[in-house]
Structure 1
Amino acid sequence: MCVAKPVEKSSQNMNRSKLGRALRAALTKAKNDRRLICGLLPALAFLEKSPEDVVLCVLPTARPGDAATHIQAVLLQAFCYENYIPLLQVDSSEKLASFCGGSQKTKQNSYCNCAVITRDNSLAIPENDIMPMTDNEHLLADFYECTLEEFPRPVVELPI
């Protein structure tokens, strides 16, 4: 017997237009704090070593006809889901690259296939071993939790 779970109203009440700006702010702050990892291979290496230190994983939507990127994204999504890591999809790898510091001059760096925001271990509270998150990181994690059962997964539109 299947029991239908009621849709949480909080996910519908979230202002989704603010999410792109919140994500841009979180990426910029993480970059300035040296807590941002860009690129699939560096992100995978960090995730494999210490998934508990990841605040948020960001993936752009796969381009149509790009099967290899789609497979990588699906596997990364499964890993994040299994390790309770919030994962958000964004509308543009080019915009993500610009927020991560990628150069638009070279074709190789004009897109970003993954970004990971890590915890700042220097701010850990020793007695609880809890690393505080910024307000934007909390907003994005809450959005992930609220939309966990939505299908298709919502795509966050990054500002220009």
Structure 2
Amino acid sequence: MCVETENNFSKQEMFNRSKLGRAVHGMLTHAKINNRLICGLFPAVEYLEKSPEDVLFCVLPQTRPGDSTMHMQTVLLQAFCFENDIPVIQVDSSEKLAEYCDIRNSDIGCTCAVVIKDSSLPSTPEDEFPMSPTEQILADFYEFTLEEFPRPVIELPS
């Protein structure tokens, strides 16, 4: 028998899926404005190889059925992020992700976006990665759903 605790229930209420989509959009927009957003698989992998400790989030769209190459790349990127304690946020649309990243003329959308830490936020000794309130909500969501399988997919607003 599974008993849901009050604390667990309040966390689930806090993670309203439509609000999470807006939170991802806000985080990506804010990161883009502050030059903390790296879009595209190869630029993201290049940055991850050099400075994985500076990465706050990796945002990946769902892979399309039948796209085995992209699926393999996504699985390997997720494994790398997991090994380096980088939260992976999965979203529903590569096209919307490309729009948020200002990638134009792309038939496949955006295959990956990486958000790096904001050095302008004040840090404390116990807080290695200072985050905005929106980023903290997404980090909490990631931690809360870490053991869910399949991983939850956040629907991005249009």
- Normalised TM-score (structure 2): 0.88
Match of 1:49 in 2: 50
Match of 2:12 in 1: 12
Query: Structure 2 matches for 1:136-147, cutoff 5 A?
Result: 136-147=134-145
Gaps of 5+ in 1: none
Match of 1:27 in 2: 28
Counterpart-to-counterpart distance in 2, 1:9 and 1:76: 32
Moved over 4 A (4+): 126-129
Match of 2:115, SS? strand
Match of 1:37, SS? strand
Match of 1:75 in 2: 76
Number of aligned pairs? 153
Counterpart-to-counterpart distance in 2, 1:124 and 1:32: 19
Match of 1:52, SS? helix
2:149 partner amino acid:
F
Gaps of 5+ in 2: none
- Normalised TM-score (structure 1): 0.87
> How far does residue 60 in structure 1 lie from its aligned partner after superposition?
0.3
- Identity within the alignment, %: 59
Counterpart-to-counterpart distance in 1, 2:9 and 2:86: 23
Any idea what the Cα deviations from partners look like across 1:118-160, whole Å, max 9, x if unmatched?
A: 0123445476673421111111111000000111110000000
Counterpart-to-counterpart distance in 1, 2:127 and 2:24: 25
Aligned partner of 1:133 among 117, 125, 131? 131
Any idea what the Cα deviations from partners look like across 1:83-107, whole Å, max 9, x if unmatched?
A: 111101100000000001112xx23
**1:54/1:146 CA distance change after superposition, 3 Å:** same
